[in-house]
Amino acid sequence: MAEAERVIGTPDTPDAGADGPEQGEETQQAQERPKGKRKIAVLFAVAAFAFVLDLVSKMIVVAKLEHHEPIKVIGDWLQLEAIRNAGAAFGIGEAFTIIFTVIATAVIVVIARLARKLYSLPWAIALGLLLGGALGNLTDRIFRSPGIFEGAVVDFIAPKGFAVFNLADSAIVCGGILIVILSFRGLDPDGTVHKD
């Protein structure tokens, strides 16, 4: 049917041989749609990978490391130590657990809305890292004790002289750094490049 319309034309569209501006816009939109979908798939694939990796690591830590002595990975410089963190990343603001839960939820909603305009692979990776990390820590806040939306996040990576963190925190930080780099380079989420 579509092939027949292309050959003979329809009353509401230009003839097949005509190359009007409307037909050019439709062709451009048709070419952009699959490109955008591929980037959305990358975003959700990266987010799912980051989320699952974080979830599995926390399950192992709770089962094998909690209430045990820390495991030294590189002498005193890096060890694995299970702690429960009611605050934000790196133990900041433990009195504001519900606020951090609301912020994480807002970040997830914003990323989901932004995904519709996503045509850039680096932005898809960056937003996927942010989404996966936010979902990882939000899952802890919803399902872990002391209660819904007040749960303490499981942290376990303990470098010497630094706060204890987890893989979700790492994904969020890496995604944030990548977004800063992309912004400085002038690359927008829709794939356009601007120079200020």
Annotation says 169 is catalytic: yes
Contact 156, 83 (CB under 8 A): yes
Distance from C-alpha of 109 to C-alpha of 131, rounded to nearest angstrom: 9
Catalytic residue among 169, 188, 190, 196: 169
120: left (phi over 0), alpha (psi -120 to 50) or beta: beta
Catalytic residue among 15, 54, 155, 188: 155
Burial string for 20-53 (b: 16+ CB within 10 Å, else e) reads eeeeeeeeeeeeeeeebeebbebbbebbeebbeb
- CA dist 48 to 15, 58, 133, 134, Å? 46, 15, 10, 11
Q: To 10 degrees, the CA torsion angle through 75, 76, 80, 85?
A: -170
Task: Indicate which residues carry an active-site annotation.
Answer: 155, 169
